[in-house]
Amino acid sequence: MAEERAETAGQASDGVVGLEEPKKMTREDWRKKKELEEQRKLGNAPAEVDEEGKDINPHIPQYISSVPWYIDPSKRPTLKHQRPQPEKQKQYSAIGEWYKKGVQEKSIGTKYRKGACENCGALTHKKKDCLERPRKVGAKFTGTDIASDEHQQIQLSLDYDGKRDRWNGYDPEEHMRIVEEYAKVDLAKRTLKAQKLQEELASGKLMDQVNVPFLKRGSETFQSLWQEREHNSEDEDEDKYADDIDMPGQNFDSKRRITVRNLRIREDTAKYLRNLDPNSAYYDPKTRAMRENPYSNTGKNPEEVGYAGDNFVRYTGDTITMAQTQLFAWEAYERGSDVHLQADPTKLELLHKSFKVKKEDFKDQQKESILEKYGGQEHLDAPPRELLLAQTEDYVEYSRHGAVIKGLEKAVACSKYEEDVLINNHTCIWGSYWREGRWGYKCCHSMVKQSYCTGEAGIRTEVSPTFSSQFPNVRTLWPVTTSLTFCVFHCCCWCKCVKLSVTLDQALSAEEQRLKQVAELMKMDERKRPYSSLQEVKEPTEEEMEAFRMKRSRPDDPMASFLGQ
């Protein structure tokens, strides 16, 4: 069975291909072949020659220059397999060749032909493909009114250019027929208008429009009236369809009769290239619009950049005036005035101007009535703005260091408060000394404003050691001094402060004893506690309340856990 399969495969290969596969080269032959290729690339050996006598470039890659074994069994050096084969090339249709449409010329039949359409009698289609109205009795049975044969639609084989030729199959004679048809319609319109004008002149309807001297020249008068009316009618016809021509992306002007697309000059920078940040203004490629300012996230002034977005242009010029006029038209229509911006623009403009004048007059009358009733005209007579802002025309010339060379130096604005004023024998102003978060006088280190200066004695005896040892909890509010110049007022305040501090120390010690007693009672069993042992019947004093506030526990305090340590 294996021998039969091998014989069958050999017969099939000889019958279909008829070629032998290439034999494997030896190592020595392969080395010689490579050396010869290197010599040819270096120019030391002549290049290979094909069957036509042309040299083969040795630098062509092997996968291009090598001939497949199933194409050329002779193994001759050639590049013919890489060139287009004329016998295998597809034949394309000629340029200008297109599908024929319509009926064939000189193909009108007088009797029914075998194989034709049973309905109309044409040979180019069958009854099921007939596009004519189904007849009650077909042409097959009547033999009359045979339809013409259409052109047979052949399948064209167009090349690359033929498929993309937009004018392929266009007939210029068809356009000329359309032009002639429109010219005939235009001539008919002109004839009808001329006849209508002659009838109006004959009936006397246009006698008011024509002056008496022109009546003597009838032909000239008719010609001038005809030209004027013709010109007006053309403008009406063109302006009539102006709204239909104004399409998105275009601007139509009935006066200039041109259409301008939303394009840009090639030398100008594109909108989407002004700011490459992806988070900047959005650009719509379909309408080529960028409404926002592309430099908004850069901090630049919109008035200084070359392009600030489409919305910036929309809100400049007469756009704001147009919006104000439209708003006025809506408000006037709501109040009963029959005005419209597009229908009656002149009427609306005159009404808007009169409204502005009346509004200004009303404001002036209202202002005068208020001033007449309440007065205050003298406050409105303010000096010029140049004097208020201290702007003058005095010439001043400065050096590079800021010194005045010519002219008077600008006066420094003074404060409304008194400066460098010393009171109560002080040599420094209040606020010249700082200690422990409080301001004072530097000359005596006093922390009391408007106090009497004690000089160096107050600095030396800023804190008394004896007083600090006796009353450690009292804050040093007043400087203790033995100077005879210490005022009686300070002594009185000092005594009050000492008395309050002693009372507060007593209240703090009493509060500590109370807290210890409460802690002991809380540790006891509540059945063994004395009756009403946790209640007080007397009203606490201010010192006791202050001691309670200072000693009470605060659970929300982050340092509460460290108090016991």
Cα separations in angstroms, 209 against 191, 227, 230, 233, 401: 22, 14, 16, 17, 84
Question: What is the rounded CA–CA span in Å between residue 252 and residue 259?
Answer: 5
Shared-domain flag, residues 270 and 357 = no
Does 59 score more than 90 pLDDT?
Answer: yes
Shared-domain flag, residues 182 and 54 = no
Q: Is 201 among the domain residues?
A: yes
Q: What percent of the chain has pLDDT over 70?
A: 74
Question: What is the rounded CA–CA span in Å between residue 474 and residue 464?
Answer: 12
Shared-domain flag, residues 84 and 191 = no
Task: Among 285, 312, 339, identify where a domain stops.
Answer: 312
Shared-domain flag, residues 185 and 302 = yes
Q: What does the pLDDT read at residue 176?
A: 92
Q: What does the pLDDT read at residue 216?
A: 42
Q: What mean pLDDT do residues 216-229 have? A: 56
Q: Burial level of 109, CB count in 10 A (0-12/13-18/19+)?
A: middle
Q: Which two tokens stand for residue 422?
A: 């010393």
Q: What does the pLDDT read at residue 548?
A: 85
Does 364 score more than 90 pLDDT?
Answer: yes
Mode of pairing for the β-strands spanning 250-253 and 433-435:
unpaired
Shared-domain flag, residues 182 and 288 = yes
Q: What does the pLDDT read at residue 288?
A: 85
- Residue 144's domain spans which residues? 111-150
Shared-domain flag, residues 323 and 308 = no
Q: What mean pLDDT do residues 185-201 have? A: 89
Contact 250, 261 (CB under 8 A): yes
Kindly provide the b/e burial profile for residues 213-252, where b requires at least 16 CB atoms within 10 angstroms of the residue's own CB.
eeeeeeeebbeebeeebeeeeeeeeeeeeeeeeeeeeeeb
Question: What is the model's pTM?
Answer: 0.27
Q: What does the pLDDT read at residue 486?
A: 42
Q: Is 240 among the domain residues?
A: yes
Q: What mean pLDDT do residues 2-7 have? A: 46
Residue type, 208: D
* Residues 409-444 pLDDT 10s: 666 667 777 777 888 889 888 888 988 888 999 999
The residue written with tokens 């020595």 in the block is: 28
For residue 252, the SS3 value is strand
Handedness of CA 137, 138, 142, 147 (dihedral sign): positive
Question: What is the rounded CA–CA span in Å between residue 227 and residue 215?
Answer: 17
- Which range, 76-80, 384-388, 510-514, has the best average confidence (pLDDT)? 510-514
Q: What does the pLDDT read at residue 89?
A: 77
Q: Is 300 among the domain residues?
A: yes
- Residue 71 pLDDT level (bands cut at 50, 70, 90): confident
Residue type, 1: M
Does 469 score more than 70 pLDDT?
Answer: no
Does 215 score more than 60 pLDDT?
Answer: no
- Residue 489 pLDDT level (bands cut at 50, 70, 90): very low
* Residues 124-183 pLDDT 10s: 899 999 999 999 999 999 988 899 888 887 788 888 988 899 888 888 888 999 999 999
Residue type, 337: S
Shared-domain flag, residues 117 and 187 = no
Question: What is the rounded CA–CA span in Å between residue 436 and residue 244?
Answer: 84
Q: What percent of the chain has pLDDT over 90?
A: 19
Q: Is 72 among the domain residues?
A: yes
Q: What mean pLDDT do residues 478-493 have? A: 42
Contact 454, 490 (CB under 8 A): no
- Give the range among 260-264, 400-404, 508-512 with minimum mean pLDDT: 260-264
* Residues 239-275 pLDDT 10s: 555 554 444 444 545 445 444 555 777 788 888 898 8
Shared-domain flag, residues 324 and 305 = no
Comparing 468 with 281, the larger pLDDT belongs to 281
Q: Is 472 among the domain residues?
A: no
Shared-domain flag, residues 356 and 294 = no
Shared-domain flag, residues 226 and 294 = yes
Q: Is 185 among the domain residues?
A: yes
Q: How many helices (H) does the chain have, and how many strands (E)?
A: 18, 6
Handedness of CA 350, 354, 357, 363 (dihedral sign): negative
* Residues 11-44 pLDDT 10s: 444 444 444 555 678 999 999 989 999 999 999 9
Shared-domain flag, residues 185 and 122 = no
Number of domains in the chain: 4
Shared-domain flag, residues 215 and 232 = yes
Q: Is 94 among the domain residues?
A: no
Q: Is 329 among the domain residues?
A: yes
Contact 250, 259 (CB under 8 A): yes
Q: What does the pLDDT read at residue 213?
A: 43
β-strand partners of 358: none
Q: What does the pLDDT read at residue 366?
A: 94
